[in-house]
Structure 1
Amino acid sequence: MKDENVSKRAWKASRQGGDLSILWEKCKEVLMSVLPIVAIVLVLHLTVAPLDPTALYAFLIGSLLVVAGLTIFLFGIDQGLEPIGNFAGRVITRSNSYPILITASLILGFFISFAEPDLHILAKQVNQVTGGAFNNWIMVTAVSVGIGVMMTVGMLRILHNVKVRHVFAAAYGTIFVLSLFSNFDFMAIAFDASGATTGAITVPFMLSLAYGISAMKKDSKVGEADSFGVIGISSTGAILGVLIVGLLFGQNPLQGALPQSMAESMPLHEVYLSRLGVLAQESALSLLPILVTYLVLQISPLRHKKNKIVASLRGVGLTFAGLVIFLLGVNGGFMHVGAELGTQLAKADSMIPALLVAFLLGVTTVLAEPAVHVLTHQVEEVTGGSVKRVLVCMFLSVAVGLAIFLSALRILVPGISLWMYLLPGFALAVVLSFFVSDLFAGMAMDAGGVASGPMTATFSLAFVQGIAAQVATADVITDGFGMIAIVAMVPIVAIELLGVLYQAKMRKNTSAQSAQREGGAHE
């Protein structure tokens, strides 16, 4: 008995040590995302854009909360929500029933989108900037319905072996038709929503479900290409959802302005304490449907054992705590400084400082996104090392830097509209999808969502909105939104161009090998 107790303590200690190691790894990933932004802010504060001391202190405290909250949140995702996603996928596929598959995909797609923090951040910004004209809960609900529908389409595509490029072309063809009848305000918000929905909660859930659904295919071995594309297809549902709501709102343009920061009107401790209760309530409301769904699924034959349920519930609890802390830091001062820097740089005689900072924000933040590293490793692995992850990182880094640069440029230069980027950009993406393999077409679609992470949805978007608020010829809504859309579009084209280069390289190698064989035969 004594030896058994000792072994239990040793197992528990080893598990705790493993958890601490994972937690530290998550912390390092988050620090890599946040520290470049902090460095840029401090350099600008000491040089060309000095900040009010209160705003700077609120930003530094907010940055610490963002690091702590996002670390705990990502750790909780690994411990709780990702296992729940895998479990839900197994339960659905075990039924081998189309009605159950469709119903479950619709419900889970809605719930996981409803719980996505990036979406809530964007919806809050839309609600504040429009003065409540476009309520954040209406937006979150519309986007979540769209995600649920298109995620179901993505799952059915896997079962019926439909080419991802065909679904991609059909989805964006529908979006183009709806855009003809929508005003520019809702177009910008709709395309931003597509990038904001594919975050830390939705991506692992969708991938887990996609792998499970692939197992239902009985006619052939599932290819690697089926693992990609679901995220990209699902994100089109966000655009469709907002555009349809926009049609119901009518053609009247939305009016609004950047809200005043609370840090300017109350003590710092009150800035954070005043938001704590509201954010906790909203976070609980977001995660509750997933928790209830998980507990209901325990009636299935595949139900988890008690210790697994406890571990999953602990992970959900950590996700909740991390989400509250993260949102507290974002709302307390983090985003306000982004907007303030954009405003100050837009006042300069030259537009070069604002454009340079916009490019640097894109280059630095995308390289630190954990999901980007996962994608680059996948590309290198599935191409057998022919396409190096360093090359993919370079493509994505320059692409996202260029995207935020173009977002700032369209605000600073009158006459450049969002559709001038999105229409030819997505048209090129659709055309290129027919010249690359299914594998690269799927990876490219997913890359757009992967590149637009928490830092893009918070600081970079606030920075661009600050520029829009200062430029006389710009509109905070029409021009202030749309940046995430461009960030989500450019990586699609970048990965597809990589696919074209990869296929050209493969054809060249094949031709060289054929020439060698023919030469050897003649000898």
Structure 2
Amino acid sequence: MSFLTVIVSKLKEVLYAVLPITVMVLILNFTLAPLESSLIVSFIIGAIFIIIGLSIFLFGVDIGITPIGKAMGKTIAKTNKIWVVVIAGLLLGFFISIAEPDLHILARQVDLVTSGLIPKASIVIVVSIGIGVLIATGLVRIVFNIPLYKVLSVLYLIILVLSLFTSPEFLAISFDASGATTGALTVPFILALALGISSLKRDSKASEKDSFGLVAIASTGAIIAVMIMNIIAQTDKLSGNLDQHSADSVSILGAFLHELPIIAQEITLALLPILIIFLVFQKFSFKMSIKAVRKILTGILFTFVGLVLFLVGVNAGFMEVGTAIGHSIASLDNKSYIVIIAFVLGVVTILAEPAVYVLTHQIEDVTSGYVRRKIVMFSLCIGVGFAVSLSILRILIPELQLWHYLLPGYIIAIALTYVVPKLFVGIAFDSGGVASGPMTATFILAFVQGAAEAIEGANVLIDGFGMIALVALTPLITLQVVGFVFKLNARKGGEVRDVQ
């Protein structure tokens, strides 16, 4: 396929993804939540940025980030030395996580909420260490063929024990951190790394199953790291004020121009470690042709441009609209509107998450079309829709606490790992991390905080945290249920394929 054909193909795919949320916001503007004309113009410009940026980003990932991850995975696996696998996992996990833009967004929010008590740098470093340790663990699991459900059972048992000693405020932050670390940049790399290592296995079934699950294992590292930090620091109560920006003080284009250099700098710092690691591996191990190296470097450049455009569109065009819509609808007398619209917005927002497209395509490729991406996407949409609705219910009903959702939710998710096809266990837990990307962490978070601001008795800061955690939880259950249905259908139809 030619360069132009691929870009047009990506553009069509992204248009189908972003148009539903754009149409939804415009409908709300003319019905339940009238918006200022300047906000609508910003939103439309932001949508254009997102469509162009996401198309370029996905193309860049295909020809740049994914090949690097696969090559590194194969190189690490070929050494047949466990210490190389562990050290490589630690270093790659740390540098990829510390570069993730979503983590920096969350860390900035934590810094704000705690009035600087928990600095942004400490959250980023602590979470990145946790991710590094768990990626190393995940790579060892693949090498030694340790079943994923057993590893996840142990990890979530550790989390359950730690949660007993963690303050309620940090419980939300720790689970949100796990969603934030598996963002648009981290996920493609981790997926490719797992695919590179598992592809060298002689057993094709084991290779297929082990291609998934590394994102799931890595995301638990963020939860455990933040919990341990809270227990050691013994920080109990969070305080602070939500930063308010005046829409009138900045022009429409001014908001985009303000975000552009900030995000460009963040993405430069994000991609630099990946570029350096690739060049070091190329010199001493890969020995790729000049043509292949040039293609990968071009891919990194496209990834940079696409991610910058995408995040500028989200931050400058979508966030303020999300807050305004959430506030307007929550202010209505009939509170059922906010719950229903939260569900619909959750459904349409997940369609525009960049990492979701990377994962769903890999699922279809690895399973040779057996697990169709449309089924995975539909299940994710339903799960995330319910998650956003549950977040709103938590604001409306003060007695509802985050652990009332998380504890039974994760018990159900872990229990299902013992009865569903093992391929779906990896897919489901990877999807949980992938669902909570930049669109969710900005637009939906802004929507939920806007609703909390309008509802009497709600705490904007405390109720804001925890939404990402719920978005990361629900796909674990919905996709494993899909796997269970696949299993039942395979038995009824007498299919030869071994889904276990």
Q: What TM-score does the superposition give when structure 1 sets the normalisation length?
A: 0.87
Distance in 1, matches of 2:90 and 2:447, equals 35
Which range is displaced more, 297-306 or 286-295?
297-306
Quick one: which amino acid aligns to residue 96 of structure 1? Answer: N
| 1:247 match | 231
CA contact (8 A) 1:130 1:477 kept: no
CA contact (8 A) 2:420 2:487 kept: yes
Q: Cα deviation per residue 1:437-456 (whole Å; 9 max; x = unaligned)? A: 32222222122123333322
CA contact (8 A) 1:230 1:446 kept: yes
CA contact (8 A) 1:150 1:234 kept: yes
CA contact (8 A) 1:400 1:487 kept: yes
* 2:275 paired with 1:291: yes
Quick one: which amino acid aligns to residue 167 of structure 1? Answer: V
Q: How many residues align?
A: 496
Query: How many Å apart are 1:75 and its aligned residue?
Result: 2.2
Distance in 1, matches of 2:188 and 2:259, equals 29
TM-aligned CA distance change 1:372 to 1:63, over 3 Å? closer
Q: Which secondary structure state, in structure 2, belongs to the residue aligned with residue 112 of structure 1?
A: helix
Which range is displaced more, 92-101 or 171-180?
92-101
| 1:78 match | 62
Misfit runs of 4+, over 6 Å: 218-221, 377-388
| 1:169 match | 153
Q: Cα deviation per residue 1:151-191 (whole Å; 9 max; x = unaligned)? A: 11111111222111111111111111121111222211221
Distance in 1, matches of 2:226 and 2:284, equals 36
Quick one: which amino acid aligns to residue 395 of structure 2? Answer: I
CA contact (8 A) 1:262 1:332 kept: no
| 1:317 match | 301
Query: How many Å apart are 1:294 and its aligned residue?
Result: 1.0
State the identity as a percent. 48
TM-aligned CA distance change 1:104 to 1:52, over 3 Å? same
| 2:174 match | 190
| Structure 2 unaligned residues grouped into runs of 5+ | 496-500
Pairs within 5 Å for 1:56-67? 56-67=40-51
Distance in 2, matches of 1:72 and 1:154, equals 30
Distance in 1, matches of 2:123 and 2:372, equals 39
| 1:36 match | 20
| 1:26 match | 10
CA contact (8 A) 1:400 1:490 kept: yes
Bigger radius of gyration, 1 or 2? 1
| 1:345 match | 329
Distance in 1, matches of 2:455 and 2:159, equals 30
| 2:343 match | 359
Q: Cα deviation per residue 1:182-212 (whole Å; 9 max; x = unaligned)? A: 1222211221222232233222222222133
Q: Which secondary structure state, in structure 1, belongs to the residue aligned with residue 255 of structure 2?
A: helix
Distance in 2, matches of 1:382 and 1:487, equals 25
Query: How many Å apart are 1:349 and its aligned residue?
Result: 0.9
| 1:395 match | 379
Q: What TM-score does the superposition give when structure 2 sets the normalisation length?
A: 0.90
Distance in 2, matches of 1:451 and 1:40, equals 20
Query: How many Å apart are 1:39 and its aligned residue?
Result: 1.6
| 2:89 match | 105
Q: Cα deviation per residue 1:424-443 (whole Å; 9 max; x = unaligned)? A: 00011111111123222222
CA contact (8 A) 1:279 1:328 kept: yes
Q: Cα deviation per residue 1:465-490 (whole Å; 9 max; x = unaligned)? A: 11122223222222112112111111
Q: Which secondary structure state, in structure 1, belongs to the residue aligned with residue 179 of structure 2?
A: helix
Pairs within 5 Å for 1:110-509? 110-214=94-198, 222-261=206-245, 263-367=247-351, 369=353, 372=356, 391-509=375-493
| Structure 1 unaligned residues grouped into runs of 5+ | 1-16, 512-523
CA contact (8 A) 1:80 1:316 kept: yes
Q: Cα deviation per residue 1:313-336 (whole Å; 9 max; x = unaligned)? A: 222222222222222222223211
Distance in 1, matches of 2:110 and 2:17, equals 24
CA contact (8 A) 1:215 1:222 kept: no
TM-aligned CA distance change 1:311 to 1:45, over 3 Å? same
